[in-house]
Chain A
């Protein structure tokens, strides 16, 4: 006999009533996992005066949504969020709890996991259900969450299993889980819960918040032209912009080009930048470090332009052009303009 396992939960991140993209990605994944385990997909959302924003959570696949509203939950500070969440988890014992691997998720997840004495795997890029034989401790587990993540600077891929009490907790990298088409007729149950937040959890005071508008959000780009250190200089980076302009694309960059000050950090693709999945990614003068590849190797099509025939980027590209980008890019612009 096995006890009935708990449901699959997603921590929903919101800012000013806008639900984070990664949270919707995770709702879709939670739906898959819940179907596989034959349990419910549920979301938990915390904030103040946000009851109007929950419908999409049902459209993307949630059966139930737990809503907790309190003035102390806006703006986000970690202690009241952790207190409320821990209380809910102890009461409901979900089988799985997913967080986005965002700044907030990575601040909150570990605090909650430590309090629950649960394992937590950071920055997963893939999740699936499988059995696990713990050969060292001679124990077998059925239907556990396989938590798959790059480690060691992206040079290895590890599959991690949480063998202690549920929930099995993970943070998941933004942009890696596929979003399904929402069904706007889909409905679920909204469960409002009163927050009980202790005085000790209200000790961190936000004095001031400053938003700096992002230049660009590459996560939504369909075509990206990216420049690396091989572009050679800030002035020459205009070639990247010219090709992007001609193709109707957005401009990306590798970390060395950003560190050199040729282009702003908002354009950085890779482990310390954004993860992108466009239909076309053109890597110009990018050698293709593991850190960069981690952010773009799921692009539908990759063109790599590099003067070094041994550059690692060429081995993951679909089309490789070994040559001088100063020659190749103008030819591409010309060829494209001629055809359209």
Chain B
């Protein structure tokens, strides 16, 4: 047992919606999701960076956790490459289809299972939904204070944190007791993966990944698996894989069932060729345009 102070960074693997290139667009002008790479949500990297800074300054143990499908383990390894101490993948088919309320409930169950944390850090929002809701909802579920839009942490004492955050038209410095949840904005420079850590942690595996690598369909009772798990755990190369049962999540509050919001309709934004009036970049063309805009009182 260690009595080291702990903080949890919750992160998300997202499709890269910011760099939609020609390849990702169908001829109809809609998005081809399959062509988009899965990335570490950008502001979650800022949250992780803040967590790692607090590790450097105060010796926090940094736990990185994500909820997602099995391949979301990739963002956990990316966290380990940068200096996280422990990684947890919250994964279960029953979590599928969760809206922000059901997601924050599942994350709160994970945090309660871990217990003993001083801080929870989240990115402000994820680029696939841009809702910025999961952080505040998670804080409410844990009944702890939230401080959103954090730029930097000034200090952490035994019982409190002092931080600077962005507000409309400026910033404010505030103090909040521990434990608190912070949502972090794009105000620090996330460190790159460390080469030495990368060499080590690229071997880090979840139980499912281990099973697959040894030719099993999934993790089962087997002496070979148990031995290998023990070896990985000793070397801190074990990515914890927690399902709904492990975190004591009530089945009616997770996934689609636990989601009050339903999607009625999804429409792709298609750029239709509208009735664009083409103006020649000549003196005559431009003069006519300006004249027309003056005439209809848009200009002048």
Contacts and interface: CB of A to CB of B under 8 A. Distances in A.
A212 B167 CA distance: 10
Interface residues of A, number: 90
B279 interface: yes
B262 A161 contact: yes
Interface in A306-340: 312, 314-324, 327-328, 331-332, 334-336, 338-340
A160 B263 contact: yes
Nearest to B139: A111
Interface string A190-220: 0000000000000111111111111000000
Given A114-B101, A158-B263, A104 B269 contact: no
Contacts of A106: 132-133, 148
A121 interface: yes
B168 A15 contact: yes
Contacts of A75: 172
**Size class of the B contact interface (CB-based, 8 Å):** 35 or more
Interface in B5-37: 15, 17-18, 20, 30-31
Contact of B20 (A115, A121, A153, A214): A153
B194 interface: no
Most A CB contacts (10 A, CB to CB) among B20, B282, B299 go to: B299
B279 A153 contact: no
Nearest to B176: A204
A260 interface: no
Contact of A161 (B132, B166, B261): B261
B214 interface: no
A177 interface: no
A115 B136 CA distance: 10
A156 B300 CA distance: 37
Contact of A110 (B20, B137, B171, B299): B137
Interface of B: 15, 17-18, 20, 30-31, 99-101, 104, 127-137, 139-141, 145-149, 162, 166-177, 256, 259-269, 271-283, 285-287, 289-291, 293-294, 298-300
28 contacts: A78-B148, A103-B149, A103-B168, A110-B131, A110-B134, A110-B135, A111-B140, A118-B260, A122-B131, A132-B262, A146-B264, A151-B130, A152-B17, A153-B127, A155-B269, A157-B269, A158-B265, A162-B262, A163-B261, A207-B174, A301-B293, A301-B298, A303-B289, A312-B271, A315-B272, A318-B277, A320-B278, A335-B283
